[in-house]
Chain A
Amino acid sequence: MAEQSTVTFIITRQGGPDSTPYEETFEIPYRKNMNVISGLMEIRQNPVNAKGEKSTPVMWDMNCLEEVCGACSMVINGTARQSCAALVDQLEQPIRLEPMSTFPVIRDLIVDRDRMFDALKQVKAWIPIDGTHDLGPGPRMPEKKRQWAYELSKCMTCGVCLEACPNVNDKSNFIGPAAISQARLFNAHPTGEMNQSDRLNGLMEDGGIDGCGNSQNCVQVCPKGIPLTTSIAAMNRATNIQAFKNFFGSDNAH
C-alpha cells in the first residue's frame, strides 16, 4: 500500500438507544500499523469531523485488544469482526464502521450483548460444583476430547455469529449459535456431563436450537474458527435423543 497521509473513517453514530442514527466522516493522520481502535483513539483525542466541525468523541467498547475478549466487535466495511484485529493497512478506504445490527445500540458503536448472556443462562453454560464440603477431584477427561473441547472454549461471546445469522433478528427468538456450542462444551466436560439433560432441555426451550436454519454463516465468520455447525448438528442429535427420553423414558433424572 502506498504511503498516505490520512485515513478516512465513515462512522454510523447514534446518541443513545432511541436516537436516530447518522453518519459522520473523520479524517485522521495515518500512522504505520494502525488498527481500527487506534484510529478511534485518534478521533477521541481530537473529535473534529472531516468538515472541520467540532464533534463528540466516538464511543466504542474494548477491553483486551488482542481478539480474546470479544468486546470490540463491530461491522467494519460491511463485515462483523473485532476492531482490535482489523488493521487499517488491510482495509479498503474509506473505512466504514457501524454497530452490529442484531443488538440494541447503547451509543455509537457500543451494543448491548445481554441477549448472549441470557442465552448462556438458558442453556446453563456452567458446571455446578459449589458445595458445603470438598467433593474431591472430579473425573478425568480423555486427552482427545480435551483437544476438541478446547476449540469450543475459545468462544468469547463476541456476537459475530449472531450478527451473520439470518435467523437471529428482532422477528425471531433464536438464541444463536454461540450458546448452542457452549452447551456442547459443558456437556463434554466429565463433571458437566452429570447435568447434561439440564442443558439439553434448555436448548429445547422456545427460541432454542430449533431456530437454526442451517445457513452456516456462523462457522464462516467466527473469528476463533470454532466448528459451530458441527456443534449445532451434535446438539441436534443430543436434543432429539433427550426429547425421546423425556417422552418415552422412565428415568427423569437423566
Chain B
Amino acid sequence: MAEHREFFYRRLHSLLGVVPIGLFMVQHLVINHFAVYGEESFNRAAGFMAGLPFVLLLEIFVIYLPILFHAILGVYIVFVARNNTRTYGFFRNWMFRLQRITGIVTLVFIAWHVWETRVQIGLGNADLDYSLMEGILTNPFMFWFYVIGVVSAVFHFANGLWSFLVSWGITQSPKSQKIATYAVIVVFFAVSYLGVRTLIQFAYGV
C-alpha cells in the first residue's frame, strides 16, 4: 500500500466514518434514548455500556482513534475544497458543501461534548447518570448547541453513508444513487428523531 498512501488514507477515512464511527453514533443515540423511558432506565443502560469489559480499550480503538483520524484528515479535506455553490447550485454540490460544514460543526460539538462528559467523568468531577445530562441541557443555550451538534452529526453520517456507497463502488448507476439519496434521507430523519427526542427529555423532562 506504500505507493498508494493517499488512496489508502482516503478509503480508510470513508470506511471509518461508517464503521465504527457511524455505528457507534447510532448505538450511542439508541442507548441515550432510554432516557425517554425514565431516569432509572437511562442509568441502567448507560451503566451497562460503561461497565462493558475492557471499556477503555473499546473506547480507544472503536471511538477515539477512528474519530481522531477521521477528524484530522477531514479538516484537511475541507481545506482543499473550493466551494462553488454560487455558480453551480446543484443539489449534490450543496450536499458536498454541507458535508464539509457539518463536519466542522460536528468536530467542535464532539470536542466540547467529550470534554464536558467523558473527560469530567474520567477526572472524577462528574458521575455518569441522568442528572449530568439534565444539568447540562436545562440551560437553553446548551440545549440548542446540542440540537445543532446532534443534527449536524447525523446529517454528516447520513450524507456520508451516501458517498460511502459511491466511494466503494456500490451505487454506480444514477438510478441507484438516487434511491440511495432517498434512503439516507430516511436515515437522517429517523436518527435525528432519536437524538433530538432524547435531548428534549433531558431538557424539559417530557
Contact = CB atoms under 8 A, between A and B. Distances in A.
A92 to B, nearest CB: 15
Contact of A239 (B1, B7, B92): B7
B8 A243 contact: yes
B7 A215 contact: no
A38 interface: no
B138 interface: no
Contact of B90 (A171, A204, A216): A216
B6 A206 contact: yes
Nearest to A169: B82
B8 A234 contact: no
A215 B80 contact: no
B81 interface: yes
A205 B4 contact: yes
Contact of A172 (B80, B83, B87, B172): B80
B169 A217 contact: no
Interface string A206-234: 11111111111100110000010110111
A234 B169 contact: yes
Contacts of A22: none
Contacts of B8: 243
Contact of A213 (B3, B5, B77, B174): B77
B7 A171 contact: no
Interface of B: 1, 3-11, 77, 79-84, 87-88, 90, 92-93, 95-97, 99, 162-163, 166-174, 177
Given A207-B6, A238-B169, A247-B1, 8 more contacts: A167-B81, A213-B77, A213-B99, A215-B88, A232-B166, A233-B169, A234-B172, A237-B172
6 contacts: A78-B87, A169-B82, A172-B81, A213-B96, A214-B166, A215-B95
